[in-house]
Amino acid sequence: MRRRRFQWFLATLAVKPGATILDVGGTEATWRGSGLESNVTLLNQAYGATLPTLRHVTGDACAMTMFGDSTFDVVFSNSVIEHVGDMRRQASFASEVARVGRRYWVETPYRHFPLEPHALFPFFQYLPPRMQRGVAQRWKYSHFRRYHKNVEEELSRLRLLSAGEMKTLFPDARVQFERVLGLPKSVVAYRA
Percent of the chain with pLDDT over 70: 98
DSSP-derived 3-state class of residue 55: strand
Q: Which residues lie closer than 8 Å to 159 by C-beta, 6 or more apart? A: 82, 85, 86, 87, 90
| pLDDT band (50, 70, 90) for residue 51 | confident
| pLDDT band (50, 70, 90) for residue 7 | very high
Mean pLDDT of the chain: 93
Q: Look up the pTM and report it.
A: 0.93
Mean local confidence (pLDDT), 121-145: 92
Give which of 118, 114, 90 is closest to 24, Cα–Cα.
Answer: 90
The answer to whether 191 touches 76, Cβ cutoff 8 Å, is no
25, pLDDT greater than 80: yes
The answer to whether 188 touches 106, Cβ cutoff 8 Å, is yes
| pLDDT band (50, 70, 90) for residue 146 | confident
Residues in the chain: 192
What is the pLDDT at residue 52? Answer: 79
48, pLDDT greater than 70: no
Mean local confidence (pLDDT), 154-179: 96
What is the C-alpha separation between 151 and 157, in angstroms, rounded? 10
Q: What is the pLDDT of residues 76-106, one digit of tens each?
A: 999 999 999 999 999 999 999 999 999 999 9
What is the C-alpha separation between 80 and 93, in angstroms, rounded? 10
| pLDDT band (50, 70, 90) for residue 168 | very high
| Structural domains in the chain, sorted by start | 2-112+158-191 (3.40.50.150), 119-156 (no CATH)
143, pLDDT greater than 90: no
| pLDDT band (50, 70, 90) for residue 3 | confident
DSSP-derived 3-state class of residue 170: coil
- Mark out the alpha helices in the chain (DSSP H runs): 2-12, 87-100, 129-138, 143-147, 151-157, 163-169
